[in-house]
């Protein structure tokens, strides 16, 4: 190079030494776990703005707009009530079946939509990732925030359904908040984990719907979870009862409904819920962070 | 970080401060897609699963094959080369957006890529996109709000009525590109990488954006410019690097490199 022709203290240094001498950093090094969390905190306004933008963008071409946030769960509840409540009449021993069904359905859909959107949150935003520099975990976290907004609307609908079907409003309803908070942490971890998996295994997007449907049947959404203990071998029943989705659903049912059959005792359910939130929340975060530098490759 | 340190170090006569060091860098894209005809059929996929062979659909594209150069403070470097020569890829690698396969890449601070294809949300209004873009560049909420009017003013989208409140899908392609450039150019950058951004918009906007790039360069220290417009490279950069098929063919004063490049292109 022409600039090294005269007495230059940098002459003869290797590129790495030259970089060290002038304090240059290696491009695209992964931050530590703690500083990654700090970066995410610094980008919190981007995360919320992006989540809000996604919500209003998804409704921008409809006439009813954000009203669909309420109409979608309402229609869902009507369809499932028609099939399971009227056509098949699967009431079994459950006292308030329609409220029982809707609680299970809405809580399950909260996680299901996060999983479906999370798995494409990296592959679907390649343009953004290759153009701008921001902690990539913003994208899956924004996905779980969007669904938190939607579950808020669903809970309003659910409150209406539960009260109309004759359940009393009690102090126990306050337990909804910690239960949803735990599920939110679980969802964020799930979204981050699936986002990295989905960016590596692109076929995952096709498989997720089937996984989620199987999971739904194992979560006691349409029938009493007591059926599992009666019909499954012991080990399978234990596995199903530890299922995080069943746990989150039963916590909400316990909070909102009277005389509801539960698969485990209430303190046990809370312990399980906290356990799953911690494991999936932290596990998903660490797993996603480890791939931080690879997401631009596609 | 290192930026402040570099800035404070007195520049002795003849000594130049490096801001970007690219040392024998390789970049490989892995593309999922049907490779040979017929390999995407269900039967072929099933037999692959049974025999345990690797997906032939996964193809590797070796886009950058061992590129080395050093850029210094106050320099504007043009990157030229035919389509698919790896110009945009090397910019993305310097910006830390694409992982490198091999080699070393050192930068002062966090380089920013200023491209025309920064994805924004077409269903949202221009004003919302400005806010989102600013936040994505790491601005605080207050800074983003303060910067917004100037960005819209600079982009000129409001010259024909209030377009800032309309969804971006209603914009012409030139308007959208102008808005994206205006957003990206609103921030100060340590090292600025510009990908074809000056080619967007009409003559008036081009003049305005070239002016803005000169300002940014005065603040930034080092500017990289990718363009197929040789004149804008000559106007902006004193040094140029010519890439062809992922390797450097020439690196030197812009006039010499461009002359060589033009001869090469005409010969083809």
Question: How much is the ipTM here?
Answer: 0.75
Residue B5, pLDDT score? 39
- The angle subtended at Cα B74 by Cα B72 and Cα B80, nearest 5°, is 70
Residue B165, pLDDT score? 86
Q: Which residues does residue B69 pair with via DSSP β-bridges, in sequence order?
A: B22
Q: Is pLDDT at A47 greater than 80 in this prediction? A: yes
Task: Identify the helix (H) or strand (E) that includes residue A127.
Answer: helix A126-131
Q: What is the pLDDT of residues A181-234, one digit of tens each?
A: 999 999 999 999 999 999 888 888 899 999 999 999 888 888 877 777 788 888
Residue B37, pLDDT score? 57
Determine whether the interchain pair A297/B16 forms a contact, defined as Cβ–Cβ distance below 8 Å. no
Residue B39, pLDDT score? 57
Residue A27 counted as domain residue: no
Residue A4 counted as domain residue: no
Residue A107 counted as domain residue: yes
CA distance A146 to chain B (A): 16
Q: What is the pLDDT of residues A7-26, one digit of tens each?
A: 456 667 788 888 888 777 77
CA distance B216 to chain A (A): 18
Residue B152 counted as domain residue: no
B71: domain CATH number is 3.40.50.300
Number of domain units in chain A: 1
Q: Which residues of chain B have pLDDT under 50?
A: 1-13
Residue A15 counted as domain residue: no
Range of the domain at A238: 37-292
Number of domain units in chain B: 1
Determine whether the interchain pair A19/B18 forms a contact, defined as Cβ–Cβ distance below 8 Å. yes
Interface contact B7, partner A, CB < 8 A? no
Residue B68 counted as domain residue: yes
Residue B183 counted as domain residue: no
Residue A282, pLDDT score? 96
Residue B4, pLDDT score? 40
Torsion of CA A65, A98, A242, A282, to 10 degrees: 20
Determine whether the interchain pair B106/A24 forms a contact, defined as Cβ–Cβ distance below 8 Å. yes
Residue A30 counted as domain residue: no
Residue A56 counted as domain residue: yes
Residue A200, pLDDT score? 86
Q: Is pLDDT at A239 greater than 90 in this prediction? A: no
Q: What is the pLDDT of residues A120-136, one digit of tens each?
A: 999 888 878 877 788 99
In 3D, which of B121, B113, B114, B236 has the Cα closest to residue B181?
B114
- The angle subtended at Cα B57 by Cα B54 and Cα B61, nearest 5°, is 105
Determine whether the interchain pair B141/A125 forms a contact, defined as Cβ–Cβ distance below 8 Å. no
Do residues A101 and A80 lie in contact, with contact meaning Cβ atoms separated by under 8 Å?
A: yes
A14, A23, A27, A292, best to mutate vs chain B, most B CBs in 10 Å: A27
Please give the residue that has the higher pLDDT: either A235 or B34. A235
Token output for A233:
């071998």
What is the C-alpha to C-alpha distance for residues B223 and B74, in angstroms, rounded to an integer? 8
What share of chain B in percent tops pLDDT 90?
A: 10
Residue B127 counted as domain residue: no
Residue A18 counted as domain residue: no
Determine whether the interchain pair A130/B29 forms a contact, defined as Cβ–Cβ distance below 8 Å. no
For chain B, what's the residue count?
268
Residue with tokens 């790896």: B86
Range of the domain at B17: 2-30+62-111+189-267
**Edge-to-edge strand list for the sheet holding B247-253:** B112-115, B191-195, B222-226, B76-80, B239-244, B247-253
Residue A1 counted as domain residue: no
Residue A4, pLDDT score? 42
What share of chain A in percent tops pLDDT 90?
A: 47
Residue B180 counted as domain residue: no
Q: What is the pLDDT of residues A249-296, one digit of tens each?
A: 999 999 998 888 888 888 999 999 999 999 999 999 999 999 888 887
Residue B46 counted as domain residue: no
CA distance A208 to chain B (A): 19
Q: DSSP per residue over B70-119, as a string? A: EEETT-EEEEE-STTSSHHHHHHHHTTSS--SEEEEEESS--EEEETT--
Residue B222 counted as domain residue: yes
Q: Measured between CB atoms, which of B107, B115, B121 is closest to A53? A: B121
Residue B10, pLDDT score? 42
């Amino acid at each position: 190079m022409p600039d090294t022709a005269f007495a230059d203290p940098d002459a003869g240094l290797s590129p790495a030494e030259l970089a060290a001498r002038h304090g240059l950093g290696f491009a695209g090094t992964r931050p530590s776990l703690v500083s990654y969390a700090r970066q995410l905190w610094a980008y919190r306004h981007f995360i919320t703005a992006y989540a809000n933008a996604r919500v209003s963008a998804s409704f921008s071409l409809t006439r009813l707009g954000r009203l669909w946030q309420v109409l979608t769960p309402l229609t869902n509840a009507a369809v499932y009530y028609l099939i399971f409540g009227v056509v098949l009449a699967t009431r079994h021993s459950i006292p308030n079946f329609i409220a029982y069904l809707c609680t299970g359905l809405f809580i399950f859909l909260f996680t299901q939509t996060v999983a479906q959107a999370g798995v494409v949150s990296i592959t679907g935003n390649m343009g953004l990732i290759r153009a701008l520099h921001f902690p990539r975990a913003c994208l899956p976290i924004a996905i779980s925030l969007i669904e938190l907004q939607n579950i808020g609307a669903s809970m309003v609908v659910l409150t209406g359904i539960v009260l109309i079907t004759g359940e009393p409003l009690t102090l126990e309803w306050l337990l909804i908040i910690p239960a949803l908070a735990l599920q939110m942490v679980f969802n964020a971890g799930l979204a981050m984990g699936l986002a990295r998996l989905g960016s590596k295994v692109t076929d995952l997007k096709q498989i997720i719907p089937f996984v989620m449907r199987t999971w739904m049947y194992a979560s006691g959404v349409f029938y009493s979870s007591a059926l599992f203990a009666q019909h499954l071998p012991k080990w399978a029943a234990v596995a199903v009862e530890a299922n995080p989705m069943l746990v989150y659903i039963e916590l909400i049912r316990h909070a909102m409904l009277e005389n509801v059959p539960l698969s485990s005792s209430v303190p046990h359910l809370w312990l399980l819920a906290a356990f799953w939130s911690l494991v999936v929340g932290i596990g998903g975060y660490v797993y996603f962070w480890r791939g931080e530098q690879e997401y631009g490759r596609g | 970080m290192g930026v402040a340190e570099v800035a404070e170090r007195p520049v002795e006569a003849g000594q130049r401060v490096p801001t970007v060091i690219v040392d024998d860098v390789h970049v490989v894209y892995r593309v999922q897609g049907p490779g040979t005809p017929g390999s995407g059929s269900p039967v072929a996929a099933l037999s692959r699963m049974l025999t345990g062979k690797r997906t032939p659909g996964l193809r590797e594209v070796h886009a950058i094959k061992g590129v080395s150069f050093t850029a210094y403070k106050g320099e504007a470097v043009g990157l030229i080369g035919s389509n698919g020569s790896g110009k945009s890829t090397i910019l993305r690698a310097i910006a830390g957006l694409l992982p490198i396969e091999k080699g070393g890449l050192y930068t002062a601070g966090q380089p920013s890529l200023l491209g025309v294809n920064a994805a924004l949300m077409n269903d949202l209004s221009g004003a919302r996109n400005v806010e989102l873009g600013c936040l994505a560049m790491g601005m605080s909420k207050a800074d983003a709000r303060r910067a917004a009017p100037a960005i819209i003013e600079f982009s000129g989208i409001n010259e024909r009525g209030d377009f800032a409140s309309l969804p971006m899908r209603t914009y012409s392609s030139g308007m959208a590109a102008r808005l994206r450039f205006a957003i990206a150019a609103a921030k100060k950058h340590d090292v600025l990488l510009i990908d074809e951004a000056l080619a967007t918009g009409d003559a008036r906007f081009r003049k305005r954006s070239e002016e803005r790039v000169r300002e940014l360069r005065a603040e930034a220290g080092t500017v990289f410019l990718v363009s197929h417009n040789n004149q804008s490279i000559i106007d902006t950069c004193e040094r140029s690097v010519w890439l062809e098929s992922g390797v450097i063919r020439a690196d030197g004063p812009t006039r010499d490199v461009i002359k060589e490049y033009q001869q090469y292109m005409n010969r083809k």
